[in-house]
Amino acid sequence: MARFDLTVLAIPAYIGAMGAEYVWLSRHPAPEGTPRAGDYELSDTIASLTMGLGSLVAPHVAKRVLDPLTPGVGRWGKALIGTAVAAGVATTAADIVRRRTAYGRLPAAGVVSETSRYGSSAPPPALTANPTMTGVTAVAAVGATALAAATTWAAQTRGKRLFALGRRDLGTGWAASLLALFGWDFIYYWNHRLSHESRWLWAVHVVHHSSEHYNLSTALRQPVAEGVTWTVPYGVLALAGVRPKLIENARALNLIYQFWIHTEVVRSSRWLEKVLNTPSHHRVHHGSNRRYLDRNHGSILIIWDRLFGTFEPETERAVYGLTRNINTVNPVRIATHEWRDIARDIARAGNWADRFGFLLRGPGWAYARRA
């Protein structure tokens, strides 16, 4: 019997809630000439809805595309690894040639390093100006390595696989359902936090933060590239005896809950603010204000942020969007702009530490390093 995705079944409720929010905002307009982030803007709303539909289709497309590339599983897995190795060797060889060109010979052991001789902010031009071909092989090496790692990790940590390896089955009762719900919530906090602290994950998650508006349609502006990330696997719940079906239901309930917190209409939830993630807390999360950056990562519960030092109360109006807005409603650009920037940074980098740093380290580090 086919099993329906609860997030799909909730679509009529999403549309109805957005309609109700729109009517309320229309009946309570902002003072004339005052911009209000909560108002609906047609092109922005269409972009959000398009991304939402894309997020439903993307997992099915990703399975067809990524499964054949998964090492140890797909027919092209070895070719992917071979590409990573070959591109890595070619890039390293080009690095050696470039250094020989810069210095006339490779520095001997014990000789003053490049960075100490020239200063990390101004190495010789020949060490940073990456020729086009070297940039291409560097991007291929890092990209193929990341893709091989992501697909292998996803294949090995799937809920069904880990459940089969486990020795417990908690059944389908309330205890198992609650463990799935709150276990997912706890893991989600860490994955969401990592999505702001690692540029690889940020490239996926930035889609959700790209709008400068904040209303219920913003909740539907979901990532479409989650199949190429490396996260704490929700499948670990299966090792504890939680059935994969319950894990999937927990995922859906977490997403459905997060829909209602994307609004400016609800200003305060009073005592619920102590325990639950609320519109007030999530407005902070979407704010690009300096004090709001990388705060309030919770899904249903806000207690994880309080426990692990990432909680910030709403004390000033949030300015929504990115610290560097992309100023577009083109869904393709919304989904790909950070990946493009990562590829450009890797292509221009002059060493492997920077190349992988531009992928793995924080967005702030990458922007500062690029500057």
Contact 91, 137 (CB under 8 A): yes
Which segments of the chain have a pLDDT < 70?
1-3, 33, 103-131
Residues 262-314: pLDDT tens digits? 999 998 888 899 999 999 999 999 999 999 999 999 999 999 999 999 999 99
Q: Provide the H-helix boundaries in the chain.
A: 6-9, 11-27, 42-66, 77-103, 114-118, 125-128, 132-156, 159-165, 174-197, 199-209, 236-239, 244-259, 279-286, 303-308, 331-348, 352-360, 363-370
Residues 299-313: pLDDT tens digits? 999 999 999 999 999
Q: How many residues does the chain have?
A: 371
pLDDT reported for residue 117: 44
Query: DSSP per residue over 156-221, as a string?
Result: HT-HHHHHHH-S---TTSHHHHHHHHHHHHHHHHHHHHHHHH-HHHHHHHHHHH--S--SGGGGG-
> Quick one: how far is CA 319 from the chain centroid?
20
First to last CA, the chain: 55
Domain segments of the chain as ranges: 6-26+38-64+174-370
pLDDT reported for residue 98: 82
